[in-house]
């Protein structure tokens, strides 16, 4: 019961929590409330930290998108290709936040078939032009719109309320993204730069883990160690596929290598999904 109350309360903003503190509640309720406050207090440090991180990544994303879309508008195919994958990593790292804006995410990141053809724009539309047609001609308008949408995202991100729920769910969601669309090579199906997105998602999950880890260590040292080991495993597998440009193209991976990556993500995501225990009172 106590757990339920605590975890439920985490969804509320802290001001609301403090607001409903009432002096004439009985002692049993007092205990619960105290726990609430400790939990949300310790979390406010974490959520603030994460907020800074995510906004930082989105700011980088704005800059990178500016360079990318400028290259497209200037007709510089090579430059645009070179910037494509590295621009996206900032978005992929901050995906739990970026995805909060259900209207913007598809505009920026929809893949072919995700939305009606007439509405399809954003990174992957330009990706198709660059790699399938080897051109930027006719894609200037998409670059223009993409820049607008990314600027809008930056403006909106300030309004996001970072809750512990968003972090706990977000960490595993990032890895689920990897399992369902990166591992299959569907994300960057023309450029085959999927490993950049793959690594960025894992980095985003790692950031959340590192932020929650001090609290987790107190709850369950073993689990904390296990998750750390599995992150190390995934990063060392990814390192095997690094080259001068960043990462190998996905189509260069062998089937066993893809399976190995996929199973390493499963092995990581399973214990990581237990990270929600940090919401339980010590």
Please tell me the distance from the alpha carbon of residue 229 to that of residue 250, in angstroms, as a whole number: 25
Pairwise CA distance, residues 160 & 98, whole Å:
9
By the rule CB under 8 A, 277 interacts with other proteins: yes
| Residues within window 50-79 making contact with other proteins, judged by CB under 8 A | none
The single residue among 1, 26, 159, 251 that binds other proteins, judged by CB under 8 A, is 1
Q: Which stretch binds other proteins (CB under 8 A): 78-86, 95-103, 108-116, 264-272?
A: 264-272
Binding residue (CB under 8 A) for other proteins from 39, 62, 104, 168: 168
Does the protein bind other proteins through residue 165 (CB under 8 A)?
yes
Distance of CA 12 to the CA centre of its chain: 22
Nearer Cβ to other proteins (99/226): 226
Residue 280, interface with other proteins (CB under 8 A)? yes
Phi and psi (nearest 5°) for 80?
Answer: -60, -45
> Do residues 2 and 35 lie in contact, with contact meaning Cβ atoms separated by under 8 Å?
yes
Specify the stretch interacting with other proteins by CB under 8 A; choose among 26-34, 86-94, 111-119, 163-171: 163-171
In the complex, least distance from residue 216 CB atom to other proteins, rounded to whole angstroms: 12
Kindly tell me which of 8 and 214 has the beta carbon lying closer to other proteins: 8
Candidate residues 114, 155, 263, 282; the one interacting with other proteins per rule CB under 8 A: 263
Q: What's the min distance (Å) between Cβ of 166 and other proteins?
A: 11
Binding status of residue 273 toward other proteins by CB under 8 A: yes
Closest to other proteins by CB, 53 vs 231, is 231
Q: Which stretch binds other proteins (CB under 8 A): 2-10, 15-23, 115-123, 239-247?
A: 2-10
Query: Pattern of binders to other proteins over 230-259, x per CB under 8 A?
Result: x-----------------------------
Residue position matching structure tokens 């399976």? 259
- 228 in Cβ contact with 216 (< 8 Å): no
Candidates 66, 203, 226, 257; binder of other proteins (CB under 8 A) is 226
Neighbouring C-beta atoms of residue 28, cutoff 10 Å? 9
Phi, psi of 112 (to 5 degrees): -60, 130
Q: Which stretch binds other proteins (CB under 8 A): 51-59, 106-114, 135-143, 271-279?
A: 271-279
Q: Which residues here bind other proteins, judged by CB under 8 A?
A: 1, 3-4, 7-8, 164-165, 168, 226, 230, 263, 266-268, 270-271, 273-274, 276-277, 279-280
């Amino acid at each position: 019961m106590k757990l339920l109350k605590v975890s439920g309360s985490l969804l509320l903003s802290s001001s609301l929590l403090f607001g409903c503190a009432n002096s004439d509640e009985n002692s049993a309720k007092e205990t619960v409330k105290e726990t609430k406050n400790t939990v949300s207090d310790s979390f406010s440090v974490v959520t603030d930290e994460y907020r800074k991180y995510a906004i930082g990544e989105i700011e980088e994303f704005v800059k990178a998108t500016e360079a990318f879309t400028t290259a497209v508008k200037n007709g510089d195919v090579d430059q645009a290709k070179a910037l494509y994958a590295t621009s996206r990593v900032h978005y992929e790292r901050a995906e739990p936040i970026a995805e909060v804006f259900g209207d913007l995410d598809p505009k920026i990141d929809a893949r072919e078939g995700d939305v009606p053809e007439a509405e399809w724009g954003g990174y992957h539309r330009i990706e198709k032009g660059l790699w399938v047609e080897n051109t930027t001609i006719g894609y200037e308008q998409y670059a223009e719109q993409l820049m607008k949408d990314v600027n809008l995202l930056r403006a909106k991100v300030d309004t996001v309320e970072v809750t512990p729920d968003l972090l706990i769910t977000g960490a595993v969601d990032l890895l689920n993204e990897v399992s369902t669309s990166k591992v299959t090579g569907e994300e960057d199906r023309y450029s085959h730069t999927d490993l950049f997105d793959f690594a960025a998602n894992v980095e985003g999950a790692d950031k959340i883990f590192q932020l929650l880890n001090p609290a987790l260590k107190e709850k369950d040292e073993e689990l904390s160690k296990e998750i750390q080991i599995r992150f190390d495993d995934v990063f060392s597998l990814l390192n095997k596929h690094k080259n001068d440009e960043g990462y190998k193209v996905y189509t260069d991976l062998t089937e066993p290598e893809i399976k190995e990556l996929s199973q390493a993500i499963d092995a990581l995501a399973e214990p990581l999904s237990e990270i929600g225990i940090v919401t339980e009172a010590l």
